[in-house]
Amino acid sequence: MTVERGILLVVGIVMLASILLAVYVNLNWLWLAGILAAHLIQASFTGMCPVVMLLKRMGLPSRPGFA
């Protein structure tokens, strides 16, 4: 697994968890999806993402994800 695919995995898990929690527990869990979306927008402009730093420290290689 690469850093790029790891990011897709983490975002997918958090989004799915947020939606499932909103459906089965409380609609306020949709705030988590909104915060994640805002962070993705921020990361696209600044290039800073804590999950990327964590995955790189774990030793995952960085390659184009959709080449």
Residues 6+ apart with CB under 8 A from 64: 4
Q: Structure pTM?
A: 0.82
Q: Tell me which residue has tokens 């989004």.
A: 15
Residue 5 contacts residue 55 (beta carbons within 8 Å): no
Q: Report the domain count for the chain.
A: 1
Residue 66 contacts residue 5 (beta carbons within 8 Å): no
Residue 63 contacts residue 4 (beta carbons within 8 Å): yes
Say if 60 falls within a structural domain. no
Q: What is the pLDDT of residue 30?
A: 96
Say if 63 falls within a structural domain. no
Residue 65 pLDDT > 90: no
Owning domain of residue 9: 3-55
Helix (H, G, I), strand (E, B) or coil at 5: helix
pLDDT bracket for residue 64 (50, 70, 90): confident
| Model confidence pLDDT, tens digit, residues 29-62 | 999 999 999 999 999 999 899 999 999 999 999 8
Say if 62 falls within a structural domain. no
Say if 66 falls within a structural domain. no
Q: What is the pLDDT of residue 23?
A: 97
Residue 67 pLDDT > 80: no
